[in-house]
Every structure is written in structure tokens, then in C-alpha cells.
Structure 1
Amino acid sequence: MRVTRFLGAAVVALASSFSLFAHADEASDKAIRKTLESLNLEIPVESIASSPLNGLYEVNLKGGRVLYASADGQFVMQGNLYQIQGGKPVNLTEKVERQAISKTINGIPTAEMVVYPAIGETKSHITVFTDTTCPYCHKLHEEVPELNKRGIEVRYVAFPRQGLGSPGDEQLQAVWCSKDRRGAMDRMVDGKNIQAPKCDNPVTRQFEIGQSIGVNGTPAIVLADGQLIPGYQPAPQVAKLALGAK
């Protein structure tokens, strides 16, 4: 009988503890969101959860970027959180961001991209934010056949680097509205004008996705595992990184 009463009291105590913890989490969530609202972030908050470091909360933004905040919302920071594992530093922030970026990018339907398939076996793929007015995008485009030969599928998404309404935006919309997108991309990169009727296209949406994951210039290469590589890289180097991405 005494044991039964003890267990009953223990259950009540545990229930009270869980209630307090839930209330504290709810209070922290509310405080952090209030602070973030005052910062006028342009990117929505996806979730807020406890980080591996006690007392620090992980704020996941739409697209993949991560912020950290104190439980009372009085301190907010952007930066990398490292944990020493086996005597080596592990970038926990980068790990979380890569997973989120991979989910975001790999969630874009390939039907909304300009895709250059691998020759033979597809060993990996890269997603490239591009602009037809960008010289280094042209340089990377010249190496797409080499990447394809190495088993890398190249997927283009649009990112007008000078913003929506710019000449690059108009060109990209023309490419995406063409019946033969690959042919239109090739001709546009060669400096030839193409004509295409206006259509419902994903250029604006892809531009916004790029901004949300931290793209601020072109070309920007995203590996299959979500790693973001800003700027041009030679084909052999890109292929090595792409094949190593898990």
C-alpha cells in the first residue's frame, strides 16, 4: 500500500515537472519570436528548439539558415556552434543548415529546372543558381559537358543577380518560357537573343529560394548534401566535391 502511494505521488510529481518544462519551452518560444519580430526578419521562422548547448535555443529559418537565442529572447546571435568530438571540432550549425538546404533544394521539381543529364551512370548531381548575364556563369556553363561526362547531372535554377525586373530576370524568364529550355539556355549564354512568349514561370520563386538559403551572387552551386559553394569552380574540382557529397 505504501509502495502504491509512493508511485502515485511520483507520477504526480513527474507530471508536474513535465508541465513546468513545457511551460518554460512555450515561454521561451514566445519570447524569442517576439524579439525576432522586432528585428523585422525578411525570412520566416520555421521552428525554435533547444540547441545542444544548455540555455541556447536554435532558431531555424525558412530555407535552412540558423540563428541562436537565449531563453528570454534578450540575446540573438548568428554564427557557428562547434562541439569537440574525438578531439576534433564539429560544426553543428553547418550540419543543420546543410540538411535544411538539401531538403529545400531537392524539393524543387526537376520539371521546373533546366537539366543537363549525366552521360551514362548518374553518380551525383549539383544545383546551380545561374544568371545568363553573369560571365562566370558562362564559364561554368562551358564546362557542363565535362561534368556530364564525369557522371554529374547539372540542374539550373534561376537567380537574377541584379534583382527582379532586371535584364537578367527578363532573359531567364525567356529561357524558362521556351519550349526547348536547354537550347534556349545554350543560345542565351552564347550571346544570342531568344524570343519566347510570356508564361507562368518559376523564376521569381527560385530567386526567393536562393535568397532564403543565403545565395547572394552567381554562380552558386549546391551539392546533393546541401553544401553551398559560392562562385565559379573548375569542373574537376566541382566533380570531386559533388561525388564526395553524401
Structure 2
Amino acid sequence: MKTLHLRNIALIATMATALGVSHAAIANSKESVELPVKGGIFLHKLEDGQTVLMSGDGRFVIPGRFVDREQGMEVIASIDKAKELYSEGASVTGTNRLEQVASLIDRVVSTDMLKYQVGEQDGNKEEVVVFIDPLCPYCHQILKMQPELTDEYVFVNVVIPLLGPRSDNYVSQLSCVEPDTLGEVILSRNMSPDVTDACRDEEEAVARRTANTVGIESVPYTLSKKGGVQLGAFRTVEQFKAFLEGRG
């Protein structure tokens, strides 16, 4: 699945055209309802070639044609056109982007922060970094797939709060659980974990700062040295594996 994050644009779904509503009428609308969209809007190209718009938390999906009023009401219907207009660092080659991702992975792996590992490193396995919010159901979907891929990969899951005050409070609790039990606590959705006095406040802060520096606005956010960056969950283990191998 290919994904592109669309920033600072006015989106108008062209479903309105099908309903006989003109662009001018939409632009001059005097009544509107704000949707609870979290993590921005993304353009996804699915495996069957269909293009859809999706909210960062995966809740809202609509047909992927939209109108950018700042681009002269141009209808954007393909991910290639969207990349041309909005992709950050569009002039950077794919090789350089992968190098940047690899550098970030190495930095996360070597830095103390609130994270836990799935799989044992034998010196030959590729390390994959996944930023997760422990309350994010799509993150849990990825976490449950990881054990099936540990023959070739080691997964480093960085814990950050992105889903509001409840998430923020929970991550603060998780910084005080025994490091060896962090993954188990998250997967079990234990909201009242046993905590110790040895809280990893600084490691929690480093994880948050790293996510802010990278510009992560929604999770799961997966980094692979061959696949690059994937925002959102994978539907199957096979799709996950294809991404990690640079085929997705």
C-alpha cells in the first residue's frame, strides 16, 4: 500500500459533484460539521489500484478524488499527481530516502527511550522500528503480527502517546512498569499495571521528542531499511513481509 500525507490543503470530495453540488456552492457553504479526524488526511493507493482518502487513525475512508482550491480547483485523482504537489522532499531520490530511514532506525535502536523489542538479535537480523500508541487498535494489529516475522527481523517498538489525555496518562504509567514486561502489558491492554518506583521518565521524554522531531502525527508508523516508511497497519502478515522486503 502506497501512502501520501496531504498537508495544508482544502479538501473537497468529488462525491459532491455526483450529487449535483457545484464547487462554488461548497466553497460558499454557510453550514458545516467538523469531523473528528485524527492524524491528518492521507492518500492511499490500494493493491487493486484503487485510490482512497483515509484519516490518519483509519476511521474515515472516502473515494480518493479531491479538489485543491489553492491549485485552481484542480482535481487530484492519482497518487503520482499528489506526490508531485505535496510530497515532502520530492526532489530527494528514493535511495537517499532509504538512507535517511536507515539512519533514523540506527539512531532509535542505539538510543535509550521508552521502547521494547520483539525478537532476538543474532547479529544478522534486520532491525525494524515501529512507533506505537498503546491504545491504538491498529498498532496492536501490527504488534500481533511481529512474532511471525522474527526469523528474519527484530522489531523495536517505541511507545508514544498520540491519542489524547487518556493515552498520555497511560504512557506515563507504562514508563514505570518493569522493562521486561512492557510488551506484555501493552498487548494485554492492562490499564492498571503494576508499577515500580524506578520510572523511566527521561526515556519517555526522549521517545516523545524523537516522534516530534520526525513529525509523526499518527500511528502505527513503521520504518524499514528496505521498505522505507509505512503509516498505518498491514492487513496481513504477507503484506507486512512484502513491505519489509521492499516489495510493498
Partners of 2:111 and 2:146 in 1: CA distance = 17
Matches within 5 A, 1:48-59: none
Alignment length, in residue pairs?
Answer: 157
Q: CA deviation at 1:173?
A: 3.3
Q: 1:121 to 1:239 in 2, by over 3 A?
A: farther
CA RMSD of aligned residues (A): 3.0
Contact in 2 for aligned 1:152/1:239 (Cα 8 Å): no
Q: CA deviation at 1:80?
A: 5.9
Contact in 1 for aligned 2:116/2:182 (Cα 8 Å): no
Equivalent residue, structure 2, for 1:216: 217
**Cα displacement string for residues 206-235 of structure 1 (whole angstroms, at most 9, x for unaligned residues):** 223223323211111011258110000132
Matches within 5 A, 1:1-246: 79=87, 92-108=92-108, 109=110, 111-112=112-113, 113-118=115-120, 122-148=124-150, 150-162=151-163, 166-181=165-180, 183-192=181-190, 193-196=192-195, 197=197, 198-225=199-226, 227-233=228-234, 234-244=236-246
Q: CA deviation at 1:118?
A: 4.3
Q: CA deviation at 1:136?
A: 0.8
**Cα displacement string for residues 182-210 of structure 1 (whole angstroms, at most 9, x for unaligned residues):** x2322233222213233433223222322
Letter in 2 for 1:203: E
Contact in 1 for aligned 2:220/2:233 (Cα 8 Å): yes
Q: 1:146 to 1:96 in 2, by over 3 A?
A: same
Q: 1:119 to 1:235 in 2, by over 3 A?
A: farther
Q: What TM-score comes out, normalization by structure 2 length?
A: 0.53
Q: CA deviation at 1:78?
A: 6.3
Q: 1:79 to 1:110 in 2, by over 3 A?
A: closer
Contact in 2 for aligned 1:127/1:156 (Cα 8 Å): yes
Q: What TM-score comes out, normalization by structure 1 length?
A: 0.53
Structure whose alpha-carbon radius of gyration is higher: 1
Partners of 1:213 and 1:225 in 2: CA distance = 18
Q: 1:176 to 1:235 in 2, by over 3 A?
A: farther
Partners of 1:154 and 1:114 in 2: CA distance = 8
Unpaired runs of 5+ residues, structure 2, are: 1-84
Unpaired runs of 5+ residues, structure 1, are: 1-76, 83-90
Q: 1:168 to 1:94 in 2, by over 3 A?
A: farther
Q: CA deviation at 1:110?
A: 5.8
Partners of 1:79 and 1:123 in 2: CA distance = 31
Q: 1:235 to 1:120 in 2, by over 3 A?
A: farther
Equivalent residue, structure 2, for 1:49: none
Partners of 1:133 and 1:95 in 2: CA distance = 34
Q: Percent identity?
A: 17
Partners of 1:191 and 1:132 in 2: CA distance = 8
Q: 1:218 to 1:138 in 2, by over 3 A?
A: same
Q: 1:157 to 1:80 in 2, by over 3 A?
A: closer
Q: Whose helix fraction is larger, Structure 1's or Structure 2's?
A: 1
**Cα displacement string for residues 116-169 of structure 1 (whole angstroms, at most 9, x for unaligned residues):** 124878532210001111011111111121122x42111011221136xx2223
Range 122-131 or range 97-106, more displaced? 97-106
